[in-house]
Amino acid sequence: MKVAPIPLSQIHKTPINPRQVVDRERLEALTTSIRQMGVTQPLILWWNSAHGRYEVLDGSRRLEAARRAGLQEVPAIVYEVSEEEAMKIAFSIHLSQEDLTPEELLNYIDLMIQREVFKSVEEACRHFGISRAWYYELERAGRVREEGLSISAKSIVAASDLPEEDKGRVVELARENALSSREVRRLIELYGPLGPEEALARIIASRPRLIYSDPLTREEVYECRGNTGYRLRLAKGYAQLEAEGSGSLRIPRTDIAILVNLLRFAESGKGAKRPR
């Protein structure tokens, strides 16, 4: 492993960097320092082979300050590992530096579990040597809703590339519509191409709605909408998923969790074949 100069044009932010909140005053001071002394501490980068680019695991403030200072390249250490290993490395670095806020700690452990880097909070805690009691105490404090919006959702908004005015609008929409952290991520993704109102309408439409329930057979039917309409029929022993204009899929109810894992795999892009 060695330090090498990397052009700023090839370095990108990443959702797998635990740091979510940037102190503007410290950023200005760092920019002044870099103008005078350059970047004295190498950035830690991950080579994202799926997208062919470098992403910042540690040093996002140094990257932003270097850009403001007009630098063309920065010294960096590059890891060429899987996304799962990159997430573990990023969290370990920031955990050892003790520079993450409680909100960032909670949000990142949640993200690793969502992406199945770890199967549970307990497994994550064991890997990083964190006390479960400490984690759950932090969670109880951090999950208290402030102004109707979870701290985790606020951290996601703060970490986005949206202008400050748009971030305020996202927070307002998330609070008014009780959006989950996952829905806030989706709102930010759609905000630019669709605008706030259409993006929110898509998210609300994607929430499953119960349209039929039989108390005798316990059959239930749910509907939601994305780019097309979907209907899920839950009956004794099986689940049937119908896509508008595309047929249906019937599976045993005991295999629903397996199907969910398969869909998450598809969503992550891990299965995409790319030309060499």
What's the pLDDT tens digit per position in 221-258?
999 998 899 999 999 889 999 999 889 999 998 888 78
The kind and range of the H/E element at 102 are helix 102-114
Confidence of residue 41 (pLDDT cuts 50, 70, 90): confident
Distance of alpha carbon 216 from the chain centroid: 41
Domain boundaries, the chain: 1-98, 151-205, 209-268
Q: How far is CA 263 from CA 177, 268, 270, in A?
A: 26, 9, 11
Predicted pLDDT at 3: 85
Predicted pLDDT at 190: 92
Predicted pLDDT at 144: 44
Domain 1-98 class in CATH: alpha beta
Assessment of whether the complete model's pTM goes beyond 0.85: no
Residues 141-187: pLDDT tens digits? 555 444 556 666 776 787 788 888 898 899 889 888 888 777 888 89
Residue pair 123/112 in contact by the 8 Å Cβ criterion:
no
The letter for the amino acid at 134 is W
**Phi (first) and psi of residue 32, to 5 degrees:** -60, -45
Residues 120-142: pLDDT tens digits? 878 888 887 777 776 776 666 55
Predicted pLDDT at 146: 46
Predicted pLDDT at 102: 66
Predicted pLDDT at 221: 93
Residues 47-93: pLDDT tens digits? 998 888 899 888 888 888 999 999 999 999 999 998 888 888 888 87
